[in-house]
Amino acid sequence: MRTDELLALFREKERTALHGNINQITSVLNARLKIFLSYKIWMLVELLNSVVSIAVYYFFGVMVESEKLEAAGYGTSYLSFALIGIASQTFLWTCVARIAFVLRVELQEGTFEALNATRLKIHNFLFGQSLSGFILSMWFFTSAMLSGIFVLSASLTLTPETIITSIIIIILMILAHIGIGFIAAGGVLILKRGDPIVAVFAVLTQFLSGVLFPLEVLPPELEAVAKALPFTYALRSLRFALLTERPISDPTIIHDIIFCGIFAIALIPLGIWFFGKAHNYAKTRGTTGHY
Amino acid sequence: MVHHRHHEKLEKVLETFKEDGEKRRYNDVSFREKTLILLEKGFKTFWSYKGWIALDIIGTVVIVALYYYVSFIVSASEVEKAGYGADFFTFALIGIAFQQYTYSSIQVFSHEIRYEQENGTLEAVLSTRTEFPTFLIGVALLSFIYATYFLICSFLVAFIFFDPFITTNIFSLLSVLVLIFLSILAHICIGITSVGIIMKIKEGDPLIWLFGWLTLLLSGIYYPLGLLPLYLIPIALLLPLTYALDGIRLCLIDLPSGSETLLSPQVFNDVLALLIFITIMLPLSLKVFRWGFDEARKEGTLHAY
């Protein structure tokens, strides 16, 4: 064999930067999905957990005064109201918390340092993990919604238009919050502890964004805080689309979409920047293998 | 001469293996001391997670506040019809606070065992002279203290901010303590059974999952049992939390007719039901536990999860 033939064997195929990035993201995604699928019992249990949580509100809904719900513009079915609230809240935080959680596992098992030794770019690692979190959360969300609709007879308006509107809102809802997930992951790298940032946001949104009650029942000062949270807007639009069939051109929905978009534009670069800084901090101190 | 030297050497070797006074004292550590040592160990670990403690406190405040605002859209007529007064918030507060409290008594054993198994420390601890039940009680004690602290916190938050209808009748409050004790004992039986199963099957927590789902849905935490369809009532009546919550609510809520005590027939029936549950489940749970423990020891899998 000639020397240049031998060298050609070791040479990497030329790839465009984009191809390389996509390849890295899909590799991270593939690895994570394989792990998900190996935990079948866990997936089933989590799914049953969400179905039981929703079933609780089936009985609970009997006690709710539907006229108060109607006055807030969400129709008369409390089950449908709570179903959208619980399913989208679970969806959001399963997805966003996933990045910090996975990073913690990688640190605990000592595999994050090995990843650092490869040519994997750190933002591709972040996006691959986010994408896998999104797919996993989508599975829970869809299953919970379908159980609510078919098992508990929740009355949602499912037309092609409302479904497309909902998908757009959901994607924007995730994009508006994913930066928080990146910041939380950065926090895990620096502090080597669980991620309190996501937990605090999850608790606050559960209370203030109207997951279980319309915002109108909150006192004005708390309502003002609720209006600073992007989840409040995403949830309102999702309910308007699926409960009262408002189109995507509805001024309130357009307003909410813009609001979530602004959050996404502000928080994603901030999250990536913070995670990059945290990663450098851990690398310079040689602590990417510690937890 | 040689024989004598050998004998001296042997004496020295034997001396090395003989327990000195200090070692003997260590081996004679009483059950109470061992429990306190385990409690101290647990507390040190717990205290190193101050951020999580703060988060738990925020979480408690939020949950209580959440149901306070939910009560604004709920009609209390069903709660009133069931005999628990006309305030949905007080009804929900008791349901949620005690459900979390009793759930921790189910979960604590399996959680601790799994934690020790995952970290590979269970077999090391059990190869010492510490008995398994001593170890279990020691590691579970902190969780109970913590759960009690949160139960008190929930009520304090409610008292400070949301003004629930809670009685101040001392006899009713003492009756609540009896009901809490029986409720914990009943749920510990489920927890012990679950540990026995976990040690054998090493996968998840099937009993606790099932029990948790049924309890959440059927024992009347968020709504009175009267809202359930008739075919679900018999299952609800098999769950200890159903009786515990009924009794605790009747004793703790400041009803227009006054709060009940153990002497009232309905609360007495709840106590009786809990006692029957404990009488049946306690020996059964210890049997399942012993079976799981022996099986794991036989298979040499005590450390594995």
pLDDT, one tens digit per residue, over B102-137 is 887 777 777 777 777 777 777 777 777 777 778 878
Q: Do the beta carbons of residue B175 and residue B267 sit within 8 Å?
A: yes
Asked whether the beta carbons of residue B204 and residue A45 sit closer than 8 angstroms, the reply is yes
CA dihedral A53, A59, A65, A67 (to 10 degrees): 80
Asked whether the beta carbons of residue A45 and residue B73 sit closer than 8 angstroms, the reply is no
Q: Do the beta carbons of residue A247 and residue A165 sit within 8 Å?
A: yes
Asked whether the beta carbons of residue A48 and residue B213 sit closer than 8 angstroms, the reply is yes
Q: Do the beta carbons of residue A229 and residue A93 sit within 8 Å?
A: no
Helix (H, G, I), strand (E, B) or coil at B229: coil
pLDDT at residue A291 in the model: 62
Q: Give the minimum alpha-carbon distance from A217 to chain B in angstroms, rounded to a whole number.
A: 6
- For residue B228, the chain A residues in CB contact (below 8 A) are 59
pLDDT at residue A95 in the model: 81
Interface of B with A in 72-131 (CB under 8 A): 72-79, 88
Residue ranges covered by each domain of chain B: 30-299
- For residue B78, the chain A residues in CB contact (below 8 A) are 62-63
B51 part of contact set with chain A, CB < 8 Å? yes
Encode burial over A108-135: b for 16+ CB neighbours within 10 A, e otherwise.
eeeebbeebeeeeebbbbbbbbbbbbbe
pLDDT in tens, B34-58: 888 888 887 887 777 777 777 778 8
pLDDT at residue A185 in the model: 87
Asked whether the beta carbons of residue B73 and residue A65 sit closer than 8 angstroms, the reply is yes
Strand partners, B74: A64
CA dihedral A100, A101, A103, A105 (to 10 degrees): 160
Give me the tens of pLDDT residue by residue for chain A, a chain 291 residues long.
677 777 776 666 655 555 678 888 888 888 888 887 777 777 788 778 878 888 888 888 888 888 888 888 888 889 999 999 988 988 888 888 888 888 888 887 778 888 878 888 877 888 888 888 888 888 888 888 888 898 888 888 889 999 999 999 999 999 998 888 888 888 888 877 666 777 778 888 888 898 989 988 899 888 899 988 999 999 999 999 999 989 999 999 999 999 999 999 999 999 999 988 988 888 888 777 666
pLDDT in tens, B265-305: 999 999 999 999 999 999 999 899 888 888 888 887 766 65
B29 part of contact set with chain A, CB < 8 Å? no
For residue A208, give the chain B residue with the closest CA: B66
ipTM: 0.78
- For residue A207, the chain B residues in CB contact (below 8 A) are 62, 65-66
Q: Do the beta carbons of residue A63 and residue B74 sit within 8 Å?
A: yes
Which residues of A touch chain B, with CB atoms under 8 Å apart? 41-42, 45, 48-49, 52-53, 55-56, 59-60, 62-65, 68-69, 78, 193-194, 196, 199-200, 203-204, 206-207, 212-214, 217-218
Asked whether the beta carbons of residue A217 and residue B72 sit closer than 8 angstroms, the reply is yes
Asked whether the beta carbons of residue B70 and residue A212 sit closer than 8 angstroms, the reply is yes
Q: Give the minimum alpha-carbon distance from B220 to chain A in angstroms, rounded to a whole number.
A: 10
